[in-house]
Structure 1
């Protein structure tokens, strides 16, 4: 732009005859000054337009960066909420006591008394935990019962349709209980629950002897 303006001025000034003296040189034609004023005004407007464009570009870049950071913050908040997964529940809810079994087939235990359910991954209507995020989880379960010569106390942890570990105890009299724990890698949507072992019994009361609990150790 500077070269173009200088060249234009040089052409305009070059129209004045060089052989005439300064004193006898006639006044410059009025159209030269008009052209200079137009060029000057154009330069001023061009600078103003450039500043405006720069400001608009900077504003657009700033908005893009702000939107990007907002999206990242929202994603981090969502990930943090998903990673908070923990539950603890017992079989019996309310006063009195509960005796379950013996039953001829494995039966899913539905733990009605929910002490903690952060992330709402445990369903107290079905007794099933559903993994909300891929990760490593820890589970523990305890089954209690009154001693019986004919029936033991046993509960198996199930991942999807696979029996993982069995907590089992058998004694003739008195209160008995058995506990197990396991760490599992779960995919999103995997289900984990506890089944009462066939022909066994479970007992619970307001002291909460028969329990199921788990939590996310870390996502993968």
Structure 2
């Protein structure tokens, strides 16, 4: 009887195809591998999404900082007079052209004007407008100044009369590149006058960027 049962079991096992037996053995491990692959793919996608989100936030911050900087750059304006502290003085004449340093700063939005050097330095490419007013007292010499772009004399304010107070003015709109400088140069053998009434002034502002 035992021999018969054993023989029948062998027959039954022998009747199962080898391929199905292997598939049954592999089914459970392959399900685990599939689940692991799916989980790994999900984690990779999640990491990619997080990286994209972080990158997007960084780009947004960069754009906001750039817009803020551009807004600040567009706000450029200054206005100065020659002497600070209500002083009264005549400067010149000198044998050669002389760079004037305007010490009394009324407005300097954007800090593009330097009261230590007398230079206005363009912080951005654009169109700028400048005004120059020159005062002179007594007629021993003429009174005159150049508006200068870099090393180029652009426009002059000049007056010469025998006696009394004299004044002259000039204005110009210039296309400036970043780093270009504009300043005032007194003409050789002339003089300028200033006091607490601020007769000699130098002003400018950015019209628009380009």
Normalising by the smaller structure, the TM-score range is: 0.7 to 0.9
Runs of 4 or more above 4 Å deviation: 31-34
What residue in structure 2 maps to residue 48 of structure 1? 39
Superposed, which structure 2 residues align to 1:5-44 within 5 Å? 16=16, 33-44=24-35
Mean Cα deviation higher: 66-75 or 161-170: 66-75
Q: CA–CA distance in 2 between the matches of 1:95 and 1:138? A: 27
2:142 equivalent to 1:143:
no
Mean Cα deviation higher: 166-175 or 193-202: 166-175
Q: CA–CA distance in 1 between the matches of 2:179 and 2:82? A: 24
TM-score by length of 2: 0.82
Q: Which runs of 5+ in 2 are unaligned?
A: 1-14
User: Could you say what secondary structure the match of 2:173 adopts?
Assistant: strand
Superposed, which structure 2 residues align to 1:1-220 within 5 Å? 16=16, 33-148=24-139, 150-220=140-210
Q: CA–CA distance in 1 between the matches of 2:92 and 2:209? A: 37
How many pairs does the alignment contain? 194
Cα deviation digits, residues 23-70 of structure 1 (max 9, x gap): xxxxx96x7544322233333333222222221111122122222222
Q: Which runs of 5+ in 1 are unaligned?
A: 1-14, 18-27
Q: CA–CA distance in 2 between the matches of 1:39 and 1:161? A: 81
What do you get for the CA RMSD once the two structures are aligned? Answer: 2.2
